[in-house]
Structure 1
Amino acid sequence: MKIDGCEFPDDLLYDSDGLVWARPLTSGDVQVGITSIYAAVAGRIAKVSGKTAGVEYAKGSAIGFLESGKYFGPIRAPVGGVLQEINPKVLVKPRTMMEDLYREGWIARVHPSNLAADRRSLLALPAAAEFLAKQIAALRVRCFAAFPDYEMFEIGVECAAVLVKLNELLVQVPLGEIVHLVTDDPTSPIEMVRWSDETGQPVIDERREGPLFHFLVRKTS
């Protein structure tokens, strides 16, 4: 389910803050990760660390930590139990969390002590949709299809000049990286379509917020 641009898979359970998800596995363990709300709050994640495996942690205890250029905070266990492992993929490549939050970007696997009791305080969709929408608004979260590597804020600049700057930036950035462009030029939706057709660089997400237009561009060539 998508709520205000933020993705929340229907098959997961969510903690009471809407920051962490839980996926019960057939093995009896529970996979744990962060939601699109928490990812947006943290920003581009530079480092993930985990607590010691093989130790039992109470529900709500920190089992890991996130670090970005603007944020440092805990990943709290949505269920109590023994921490089985921290996902080695996110330890080596934190970007995995941002590229695939709900699958490859899981953070921890916990063997719950009392899942039946703990899951009573976890939230499920669609009932949780209203609460999650309120959290998005309260935290002023903005979710996009991907996390940008570069930001361009071009307010009061004509779109033609903005696109010149965008082209100059794309020459410098590595393939696969993403630019978040913000402009207030009302012609930008049409101009960005034309620019994308001409350059072959895809606009992977766009939205309007009041007088501002947001575009995510991925460098592919």
Structure 2
Amino acid sequence: MVDLVVESNCEIPENLLYYIEGKNTVWAKQESADVILVGITDIAQTMAGKIVKVRIKKKGIKVERGRPLATMESGKWAGPVPAPVSGEIIDVNAEAEKDPVIINRDPYGKGWLVRMKVTNPEELKQLYTGEQAIQKLKELIASEKISCKRL
């Protein structure tokens, strides 16, 4: 079982890597030395509200760290989902594009967005992990007065 920290109803799995830039929070799960699975956090899906549209970049597209790998729209928000590291998109979650609310319901599972081949493994070390990630996300939850809810 994955260690899970719950803060203000927000789930923060301890085994993931996190890209945290302002209010943008993206998770990455290392599947092999150079392949990661990427999605948005419980916090991000709560802040966005019900996601009505997701446009994910196509397979084979190369993205730089911090540049959009997808864009999302909800009733109250539209914006980019930044790439946690530089790499090439090797798989896209077509299910999330067809039924975006899956991202709200299961942000760490069925709501993943892309699988990427990492071009610069050094960048993985720049992501937040463990206690440091949890602390940073707790600060965001507190500063934004977030209480997570799933649809």
For residues 9 and 52 of structure 2, the distance between their equivalents in structure 1, rounded to whole angstroms, comes to: 23
Q: Deviations over 1:142-199 (max 9, x none)?
A: 212x22xxxxxxxxxxxxxxxxxxxxxxxxxxxxxxxxxxxxxxxxxxxxxxxxxxxx
Cα offset for 1:16? Answer: 2.5
Residue aligning to 1:151: none
Structure 2 residue 102 is the aligned partner of structure 1 residue 96: yes
Point out where structure 1 has 5 or more consecutive residues left out of the alignment.
148-221
% same residue? 32
- In the alignment, what sits opposite 1:62? 68
Please say if residues 37 and 136 of structure 1, whose CA atoms lie closer than 8 Å, have aligned partners that are also in contact: yes
1:9 lines up with 2:13 in the alignment: yes
The structure that has the greater radius of gyration is: 1
2:146 aligned partner, one-letter code? V
Relative contact order higher in (CA < 8 Å, ≥ 6 apart): 2
2:138 is aligned with 1:133? yes
Q: Deviations over 1:117-161 (max 9, x none)?
A: 1122111122322211111122232212x22xxxxxxxxxxxxxx
TM-score (norm 1): 0.62
Q: Which residue of structure 2 aligns with residue 38 of structure 1?
A: 44
Residues 58 and 81, structure 1, Cα contact 8 Å, conserved in 2:
yes
Question: TM-score if structure 2 supplies the norm length?
Answer: 0.89
Q: Pick one of 75, 78, 85 that aligns with 2:91.
A: 85
**Secondary structure, aligned partner of 1:128:** helix
* SS of the residue 1:47 aligns to: strand
Aligned counterpart, 1:48: 54
Measure, in 1, the Cα distance between the counterparts of 2:29 and 2:134: 18
Worse overlay, 78-87 or 19-28: 19-28
Is 1:118 aligned to residue 123 of structure 2? yes
**Which stretch shows the higher mean deviation, 19-28 or 99-108?**
19-28
Deviation at 1:27, TM superposition (A): 7.1
